[in-house]
Amino acid sequence: MSSPSFKRAGAAAVGAAILAAGLTAVAPAPAAHAATDPGPAADAAGWLADEFATLTSDEAGEAIDYGLAVAATDGPAEVLTSLTNGLNGVLADFLPPADPAPSQWTAINVAMAADYYATVDAIPPAETDLFNRFAGMVDDTTGQFGPSAWPYSQAYAVNALRNRNSAELEEARDFLLEAQCENGAWGFDTSCAAGTLDIDGTALAVLALLPDAELAAVGPAVESAIAWMKTQQRADGGFGNWGVNTGGTTSSGPSSGLAGWALGAAGETAIAGEAAVWIRNHQAAAVTGCATLLDAESGAVAFDGDGYDEGTTEGIGDAVRGSWLNSTAQAYGALTFLPEHTDHLGLGVPLYLDGGSTHRFVVSGLREGERACFKIGKKRTWVRGNAHGKATVNAQVPDRTGFIGVTAATADDGAGGETAVLAAKRVPFDLKDRVRRGGKQVVEVRGLHSGERVVVRYDGAKVAGGKAATDGTFRASFPVGRKAGAHKVKVVGQFADRTATQSFLVG
C-alpha cells in the first residue's frame, strides 16, 4: 500500500493563514524563497505518464498520489484529465467491496479516491457510488473515518471532506487533532508508543490541516508538527519512515517526498529543498558517455540508495517496478521545491599526466550527494559530491604516452577535456665528448613532447631549463668551469621518470 498525498493551499494563502495565526516561525515571507529547478519534476512527470498510460487497479493508489500532487502544485490540467480517465476505468476494482465491511487497510482506498475526485472536481463512475460510500464511513458523532482510528485514513478523509464542503469536516478534523502526540508527531497508530511515530503520517496530517491553519485549534498543532518533522531530517538531507530499512537508518523516496512536500507547503522551503535534492540524487537520469540500465527510465525515483545502485546495473524489472512507481509518485510534490543549482561543474586537469602514476582529481560544482561520472580514457568511476560540492578521485593514469580524455559529467553539466600522458622514457640528448677548461658545453635534447618542461643539470646543479619546442627539441649551453676530469650531465623532462644521464671530459 502506498502512503496517501494531499491537496495543499497555494504558498501565499498558506503563508497568510499561518501568519494570521501568529506562527511566523512556520512560514517565512515568500520573497525569501529561492528559485526552483522545474526540470527534475518534469522528468518524473514524463516517466509517470508512460507508466500510467495503461493504468491498472494495482497502480491506482500511486496515480491518486501523483494526481493530488499535480493538482496541489498547479500542474498541467491535461495530466489530471488523463489520470481521471484512467482511474474511471479501474476505480470499481480499486475500491473494496461493501460486504464484508472494509478493513483499515482497504478502507483507505475509499478516502483516497473521494479526495482525488473532489479535489479535481470530477464525477466518479456512477456504479461505484463513491461519495455516498465515503460519507457513510465517517462517524456522524466522532468524525472518525473507517473501522479504526488510523491517522493515514483520517488525514485523507479530512481533506476529502473539506473539498466536498461537508458539514462533518470539523468533527473529522478534531478527531485527527486528538490523535497528535505530545511532541507534535502522529504515529502509525494512535498509541504514540515508542517506535510508532511516523514521518509519513505526520506529513499527511500537516498537509490535511494546513488549509485551516488560521484556526486557533489548528495553527499550534501544525507548528508543533513541523518542529518535530524538522528534527527527523537525516544527515543526507532526506527523510526516512520509522520502518524503512534497518530501523529507519536511511532516507527513502516516499518519506522524503511526503515530508519535503509538507514542509515546503508550510513555508519551510529551505529544508524542503534539501529533501528535494536527496530525491534528485536518487532519480534516474542519463549521463552522456556513462550509460547505465537506468538510462531508459529517466525521471524515475528510487526507494533508497541501494535501490538506485541496483537499478544502474539491473534496470527496473517487474519485481521492483512498483517500488519505483510509489517513490516517484510521492516524490513529485517535494521535487517542485528543488532549488535551482547555479554552480557549474568543474574538473582540474593538468596539461600533462605522468604515465603509470596515480593522480588526484577534484570534481567541483556538485550538489551535496549529487552523482557524477568521472572518466579517464575508457575507465569510469562514479562519485558523489560532499558537503562542499566536491568529489575526489584517485585515478590510475595509463602507462603510455599519448593524448587521453579526462572528464566529469552529471545529467545536467560536464567538465574536463583532453590532456597529454607522458610515460617514463630515456630522454635522448647529444653533447660534446670533451670540452676544454673554461669552455662551454652544448646540450641538444630531442624526443620531448611539445611544450614539455625540461631541466639540465651539471654535476647535480641546475644550469638550464625551459620548455621543448614544437618539434620536441630543447637546446642549452653552459660553462663547464676549469676542473678537469669526468663530469655528468642529467636531463629531466616533465616528470622524474623521463630522464637520462651522460658523461663527458673537461680538459
pLDDT at 56: 97
For residue 320, what are the contacts with CB-CB under 8 A and spacing of at least 6? 307, 310, 311
Contacts of 181 (CB under 8 A, 6+ apart): 187, 192, 197
67 grid coordinates: 494526481
* Rounded mean pLDDT, 294-314: 96
Confidence band, pLDDT 50/70/90 cuts, at residue 34: confident
pLDDT of 191-238, one tens digit each?
A: 998 888 999 999 999 999 999 999 999 999 999 999 999 999 998 999
Residue 461, φ and ψ in degrees, nearest 5:
-95, 135
Per the model's pLDDT, the better-predicted residue between 225 and 244 turns out to be: 225
* The pLDDT of residue 23: 40
- Quote the CA–CA distance of 212 and 222 in Å, as a whole number: 10
Q: What percent of the chain has pLDDT over 90?
A: 88
| pLDDT of 350 higher than 90 | yes
What pLDDT was estimated at residue 277?
Answer: 97
pLDDT, residue 33, reads 56
The amino acid at residue 9 is: A
**Local confidence band at 249 (pLDDT 50, 70, 90 cut-offs):** low
Q: Residue 189 — very low, low, confident or very high, per pLDDT cuts 50/70/90?
A: confident
Q: Does residue 245 register a pLDDT over 50?
A: no
Nine-digit cell string for 178:
486528538
Residue-wise DSSP of 380-402: EEEEE--TTS-EEEEEEPPSS-E
- Say yes or no to pLDDT of 244 above 70: no
What is the CB neighbour count within 10 angstroms for residue 488?
12
What band does 16 get if pLDDT is binned at 50, 70 and 90?
Answer: very low
pLDDT of residue 242: 60
The DSSP H or E segment spanning 454 is: strand 453-458
Angle in degrees, 0-180, between the axes of helices 318-335 and 39-51, rounded to the nearest 10 = 140
> Average pLDDT, stretch 333-345?
97
Beta sheet of 414-422, edge-to-edge order: 352-354, 414-422, 402-409, 371-376, 379-384
Confidence grade of residue 451 (pLDDT, cut at 50, 70, 90):
very high
Instruction: Determine the 3-state secondary structure of 146 from DSSP.
Output: coil
DSSP letter assigned to residue 351: S
Give the CA count within 13 Å in the CB-facing half-sphere of 297: 23
**Do β-strands 429-430 and 440-445 pair in parallel, antiparallel, or remain unpaired?**
antiparallel
Strand pairing report for 346-347 and 371-376: unpaired
Give the mean pLDDT of 232-252.
76
Beta strands in 302-452 (DSSP E): 346-347, 352-354, 358-364, 371-376, 379-384, 391-396, 402-409, 414-422, 425-426, 429-430, 434-435, 440-445
Does pLDDT of 29 surpass 50?
A: no
Structural domains of the chain, ranges and CATH numbers in brackets: 11-335 (1.50.10.20), 346-422 (2.60.40.10), 425-506 (2.60.40.10)
Predicted model pTM? 0.86
Q: For the residues 297-324, what does the mean pLDDT come to? A: 97
What average pLDDT does range 415-428 have in this prediction?
98
